[in-house]
Homo-oligomer: A and B are copies of this chain.
């Protein structure tokens, strides 16, 4: 077994811990944000954390009607006179808390007297020290290079913050279901081997939309990191604006769907891609896609679409793991990579 697999397996416990103990801190941060009435959120992050930021864009946009801007870190590290941030709540997400470019954005936000908040798995990190407010992920040390439990911990902490800012009883009930839903996703590990064969080649496409565009991006990164498949994610809509020209018979395409109003987009593209002879597979939570039963793994966690990025990414992590093992690769140690990447 690998550390990557071990850490994938820890996700239900990490989620339980966050739900049990993270609440009071997140509630007081939410109260401070509500008092400040920020104009919007600006989020700085890299790699998997940047996909958590993309999730936050949809989550805060939809649930809190708050505009989210993803920061372009080089505007803070490479160019003079970064954007004005007054009135914003500026958020950094970094597993290690030592990403120099994320720290640079938060430092500039402090200089401009914007409210600052960081999500990190190291509450003693430099990033945590710089910011006004910290949400510790408390996921335990993550030793595998590809992130897993710190990713879902970030998503859950973001969802708890969204709920604390704009409470809603049904969403509260749904949050409590997350650990069990993650357990359910873990039971599908062997079944996911059904979807492995198409990913033997050099390239793959992952499609999502809305809340699960972030999941598609994260799964594409996991496949790229652990299996050396050049996997590219698109929203279904962007894909139809040009990139669809790349499809041809046999090309592996993974759909990621969590039900909700974007479900019909996925069904539509599935049909179109099957017509081109692509090897279309899918992972779904809630509403299964219109694919042959042996071309998809589908669960029904009972979570609303807004929370299905948690379960679906677990299925995607397991798929990436199984693809790596089928290719004889060690998922813990992707070539050319270290756990902490210090870009500026």
Contacts and interface: CB of A to CB of B under 8 A. Distances in A.
Interface of A: 39-40, 42, 46-48, 50, 57-58, 61-62, 65-70, 72-75, 78-85, 87-88, 101, 146, 201-203, 205, 209-210, 213, 221, 224-226, 228-230, 232, 235-238, 240-248, 260-262, 276, 334-337, 341, 343-344
A336 B276 contact: yes
Contact of A242 (B48, B67, B81, B236): B48
B245 A334 contact: yes
B58 A82 contact: no
A238 B224 CA distance: 13
Given A79-B210, A228-B245, A65 B47 contact: no
A126 to B, nearest CB: 18
A67 B69 CA distance: 8
A66 B78 contact: no
A261 B78 CA distance: 6
Copies of this chain held together in the complex: 2
Given A83-B65, A83-B67, A230-B230, A241 B46 contact: yes
Contacts of A260: 78
Nearest to A306: B79
Given A66-B83, A75-B58, A230 B203 contact: yes
Contacts of A82: 61, 65
B84 A62 contact: no
Contact of A58 (B70, B72, B230, B244): B72
Contacts of A237: 46, 73-74, 101, 343-344
Given A58-B74, A202-B202, 20 more contacts: A40-B67, A40-B69, A42-B67, A46-B237, A48-B242, A57-B72, A66-B84, A67-B69, A67-B83, A69-B70, A74-B235, A74-B237, A75-B210, A79-B261, A225-B245, A228-B248, A230-B232, A237-B343, A240-B343, A242-B341
